[in-house]
Amino acid sequence: MRQDRGQAFPIYVVMVAGLLFLAFAFFAVGQASATRNGAQGAADSAALASAQRAREELGPRVLAALTAPGGLDNIFKDGTFIAPAHDEAVSFAAKNKADLTGWQPQPGDVGQFKFTVGVRTQYTVGKSVIPDTENEKATASATAVVELRCGLPPVGGGSDPKPPRPPVTITCDGKDLPVDPMPALDKIFTVKLVD
């Protein structure tokens, strides 16, 4: 009986060591997952920040676009709203402890403009039982879109409709809105993640 107890002890030690190794491996997987989630959060916030900044830059142009033929259709064609959107992406990535690795502004469907960003975390997964994790950083990407929700109400007859005269009304999501005073930008543009 005593001899049996002595033989069971090494098996017990091996089993405990195996369980400890598995626990540390699961912990490493959790660390990697947390780092990846942090990267995705940074990418999402940087993409949304780009699109929201673009919306702010576009806001004052809406009034001018309303009185120009096809103005709302062409509102995304003047690209001067892009540079501040890039700066905002860099800032929000940094606030989330990540570096911007890619930034691509591009027209989307009619009335849309997309911002795709890529980020890499400034921090690593950390030391674990899995080799080289102390040097591994997470990467992620996200795309956000700023989309015009409005159009001009139809103008009566003629092949060459004239631009509307004040007071101007725009139709946003099926509702007519006067533009004096100017509606809030979130009623004119929507900002959302699409990827």
> pLDDT of 21-57, one tens digit each?
666 665 566 666 777 888 899 999 999 999 999 999 8
Domain count, the chain: 1
> pLDDT of 82-134, one tens digit each?
889 999 999 999 999 999 999 999 987 777 899 999 999 998 866 655 556 66
- Polymer length in residues for the chain: 195
Q: Tell me whether strands 189-193 and 98-107 are parallel, antiparallel or unpaired.
A: unpaired
pLDDT surpasses 70 at 152: no
Q: What is the pTM of this model?
A: 0.74
- Cα–Cα distance for residue pair 167/122, rounded to 1 Å: 51
Per the CB < 8 A criterion, the answer to whether 83 and 98 are in contact is: no
Residues with Cβ within 8 Å of 186's Cβ and at least 6 positions away in sequence, in order, are 55
pLDDT tier at 140 (50, 70, 90 boundaries)?
Answer: very high
**What number is the average pLDDT over the span 10-26?**
65
What residue numbers bound the domain in which 54 lies? 2-193
Per the CB < 8 A criterion, the answer to whether 143 and 47 are in contact is: yes
